[in-house]
Amino acid sequence: MATKDLFNLQLKVYRKKDNNNLTGRRTVNAVDTHIVETAPPRTTVEIPITCYQLIGVPDQAEKDEVVKSVMDLKSAEIEEGYTMDAVASRQGLLMDVRDKLLFEPEYAGNIKEKIPPKSSLRIPWAWLPGALCLLQEVGEVKLVQDIGRVAVQHPDAKPYVHDLLLSMALAECGTAKIGFEKNKVSQGFEALARAQSLLRSKKSLGKIALLSQIEESLEELAPACTLELLGMPHLPENAERRRGAIAALRELVRQGLGLEMSCRVQDWPCFLSQAFNRLMASEIVDLLPWDDLAITRKNKKSLESQNQRVVIDFNCFYIVLIAHIALGFSSKQKELIDKAKTICECLIASEGTDLKLEETFCLFLLGQGNEAMVVEKLQKLELNSNSAARNPISGKEVKHTGGANQTLEMWLKDAVLAVFPDSRDCPPSLANFFGGERRTSLSKKSKVAPQNLPILSHRPISTTLVSERRDFDESLSHMNSSQHLGTAVKQLAPTDLQSPLILGKTGSGSSASASSVQLKRNLGMHHDKVWNGWVARGVLVGRITFVAVLGCFVFASLRLTGMKGNKMRSASKWGPSKPNTHTSSISWTTDSSVDSSLVRTCSDAENPQISYLSSSTAVFRRLMSIEEAEELVKQWQAIKAEALGPSHEIDSLSEILDQSMLVQWQALADAAKARSCYWRFVLLQLSVLRAEILSDEVGGEIAEIEAVLEEAAELVNESEQKNPSYYSTYKIWYVLRRQADGSWRFCEGEVQTPS
């Protein structure tokens, strides 16, 4: 076969006379004898490695070092998933290699006489899985991949394919680790995708834990990998990867808008801003149906609008608006200008932001306005703007440009066209736009990578478009990317995964700060694991959270409990802790702004009676950091989401609640599960107003947190055709108690000012 010579993998018929002639060993234990007897008796395979490589020591290693390495490997725990035959062959091969290096100069070589060690090793086919297992453990990942790729195509390898593929997959994991250590996220991602493909190609490997861990890591790495691939130069050799990254970006945004738990983007505004900084105007325009999304955004109280605001903030949507204008102007496509006008109108209605300049300019390009109106808006904007965030052409520049036409063209060039690489070279000639013929989009011709050109932005946001593009490379190192393998991973996986590996089968894919990227488990390696550790799943900053409440038709029998607010609480009144025996801890109110379904909101209202510290000691107050308070409230919101959401993880409530609040929320969660319904909830905004810790002389500690929450929710019930939803802002007061392990538990909560 053609590839045999490439890797020096030789197959020879070797007739066995005795044990010593076959293996070169002095002793054969019972397990090893069994391996030889059950292996193909007359066939061996010659692999291009030295005995030293097999045990991970240099060619100049002394005999005591050889013995120590062999013993360490023999006692080491190997990876889960290997067959018992592979484990036994690994042990037998270790003893065989040890004897060869100790007693056979041909294999050991001689440094003094400058005789190199034998560069190949002949072993029975049954020992090949053990050989690849050892090579993978000692870090010879390239040898594992090369030898395994050839071996699995040979008919004699059929009984051992399971173990060979597992070693190859583990070697790919080792390659992934090297990529992450070099800050090359996409390189590590593609190695993991190849490992996944290898495991998926053999049914017996489909259920091992390694596969699910690889798939989970791929999901978490997808955002960081997407950004890295989008940042690659616009060269022909990168075109296919770039298309895959754009498709992955589209899928990630779709997942975010659809509130899918598989989406691992931690900070949507940061992620999308960095992604847009890597895209051309045409790529942004084609990414999503932006005009439809803008129309959806106008309805502030709809759940879809609230979801969208979490994923796509105003700054990102503004970039989309500018991209439409830039591409529409440069390619003379008035339909794009019309879409830009629609987006602009919707943003004005939904955000209340002054975009009159952009709106008037779009109308002007569509022939529905005049040049003087646009210049007036531009000059007015300059006069009214005292913020560095909104810094158009200076008044002096406007005054001396020599005409309104030049004023507009200067603004158009600096604030619109120069933002994107595919419109940057377009002349800002208004006469050319109105008088010339329609042009093909420049993106099809442009191969220019994004450049960091200084431009002047006029938009009323905290950072300019240009500064965002200038900083995107630096900020990439700060991006950390956080159930089932999704479409985004498929788009990012290398396209050459299908290979004739497994007896004619084709492997198939299923379903970051680079330096800090760590994967999810320890993969065995001699003295050092392939991966040093899998980090626990972090808190997803800015992630859409599902917090569940129950509708009025679920608990129609519950009485409406009035909200209690503005009640004075004094630390001197605190006494011994006592469970609250109120029959209902939940405040049920009707939001008149919602439709006639009369959705009732379930908030954190509790009986305001406070658990005491010690009535006989003084109470001391100190501030709790706002960050810690926010983190505690977010943790409670997330756990409440899991307990009353679609997964009904009720046991998790005990991780954050205590006393009567735990009992009452557990009862609500049980009732929701029994009625097969749940709520989708979007936490739109959290603002902590006050956070204090109160302690007494005997060491007891209680915290008070006052916060304002803005939220929207949708009740999901399969038996109902229409799912009711609500939108509300309310102020709430929490009481938390410090536990023996130092953690905090929410004991009570009271809604103070319902909206």
DSSP codes, 210-253? HHHHHHHHHHHHHHHHHHHHHTS-S-GGGHHHHHHHHHHHHHHH
Summarised one tens digit per residue, pLDDT across range 429-462 is: 888 888 765 554 444 434 344 433 333 334 443 3
Domains along the chain with CATH numbers: 44-207 (no CATH), 233-383+407-431 (no CATH), 620-751 (3.10.450.240)
What is the pLDDT, as a whole number, of residue 745? Answer: 94
Let me know: does 644 contact 548? Beta carbons within 8 Å.
yes
How many Å apart are CA 599 and CA 595, to the nearest integer? 8
| Residue pair 645/626 in contact by the 8 Å Cβ criterion | no
The pLDDT confidence band at residue 114, using thresholds 50, 70 and 90, is confident
For residues 374-402, give the mean pLDDT.
56
Tell me 127's DSSP state.
G
What residues does 383 pair with on adjacent strands? none
Tokens of 37: 């007897």
Q: Report pLDDT for 617.
A: 53
CA 335 to chain centre: 35
In whole angstroms, what is the distance from residue 456 CA to residue 278 CA?
19
Dihedral, CA atoms, 442, 447, 452, 456, nearest 10 degrees?
Answer: 0
Comparing 537 with 652, the larger pLDDT belongs to 652
> Measured between alpha carbons, how far is 711 from 726 in angstroms, rounded to an integer?
8
Identify the DSSP state of 420. S
What pLDDT, on the 0 to 100 scale, is given for residue 305? 86
* Confidence tier at 482 by pLDDT (50, 70, 90): very low
Mark residue 333 as left, alpha or beta (left: phi above 0; alpha: psi -120 to 50; beta: remaining): beta
Angle at 642 between CA 637 and CA 643, to 5 degrees: 95
- The pLDDT value recorded for residue 677 is 86
Q: Is the pLDDT of residue 663 over 60?
A: yes
Task: Give the number of other CB atoms < 10 A from CB of residue 307.
Answer: 21
What pLDDT is recorded for position 289? 94
Q: Which of 8-22, 107-121, 231-245, 697-711 has the lowest mean pLDDT?
A: 8-22
pLDDT band for 320, please (50, 70, 90 cuts).
Answer: very high
For residue 7, is it left (φ>0), alpha (ψ between -120 and 50) or beta? alpha
531 neighbors 522 (Cβ within 8 angstroms)? yes
CB 645 within 8 A of CB 261: no
Q: pLDDT per residue over 547-564, tens digit each?
A: 233 333 233 222 222 333
Question: With bands split at pLDDT 50, 70 and 90, how would you rate the model's confidence at 416?
Answer: very high
Buried-state track 488-523, b at ≥16 Cβ within 10 A, e below 16:
bbbbbbbeebebebbeeeebebbebebeebebbbeb
Residue 736: what are its φ and ψ, rounded to 5°? -125, 150
Question: Cα separations (Å) of 272 from 21, 249, 361, 517, 630?
Answer: 65, 9, 26, 20, 24
Beta pairing, strands 677-696 & 701-717: antiparallel
Q: Is 117 left (phi over 0), alpha (psi -120 to 50) or beta?
A: beta
Among the ranges given (60-74, 271-285, 390-404, 440-454), the one the predictor scored with the smallest mean pLDDT: 440-454
Secondary structure of residue 736 in the 3-state scheme: strand
Are 714 and 708 contacting, i.e. CB atoms less than 8 angstroms apart?
A: no
Written as one letter, the residue type at 675 is R
Cα R_g (the chain), whole angstroms: 33
Arithmetic mean of pLDDT over the chain: 72
Specify the amino acid at residue 561: T
pLDDT in tens, 176-223: 999 998 888 889 999 999 999 999 999 999 889 999 999 989 988 989
Q: Is the per-residue pLDDT at 630 higher than 90?
A: yes
The average pLDDT across 276-287 equals 93
In this predicted structure, what is the pLDDT of residue 88? 94
Q: What mean pLDDT comes out for the span 372-392?
A: 65
Q: Provide mean pLDDT across the span 425-432.
A: 86
Asked if pLDDT for residue 163 goes beyond 60, the answer is yes
Contact 489, 222 (CB under 8 A): yes
pLDDT of residue 377: 79
725/422 Cα distance (integer angstroms): 43
Distance between CA atoms of residues 405 and 410, nearest Å: 9
Q: pLDDT band for 475, please (50, 70, 90 cuts).
A: very low
Q: What percent of the chain has pLDDT over 90?
A: 32
Task: Give the tokens for residue 78.
Answer: 């190997």
User: Which of residues 378 and 382 earns the better pLDDT score?
Assistant: 378
Mean pLDDT of 272-292: 93
Predicted local distance difference test score (pLDDT) of residue 480 = 36
Res. 531: pLDDT tops 70: no
The model's pLDDT over 1-40, given as tens digits with 9 standing for 90+, comes to 444 443 444 444 343 333 333 333 333 333 333 333 344 4
What are the φ and ψ backbone dihedral angles of 510, each rounded to 5 degrees? -100, 170
State the pLDDT at residue 667.
85
**Is residue 589's pLDDT more than 50?**
no
Residue 265 has pLDDT above 90, yes or no: no
CA–CA distance, 329 with 439 (Å, rounded to integer)? 10
Mapping DSSP to helix (H, G, I), strand (E, B) and coil, where does residue 549 land?
A: coil
Q: Residue 43 in 3-state DSSP?
A: strand
Question: Which pLDDT belongs to residue 624?
Answer: 92
Counting DSSP H helices and E strands in the chain, the numbers are 28, 12
pLDDT of residue 495: 56
* Alpha-carbon gap, residue 328 to 294, rounded angstroms: 18
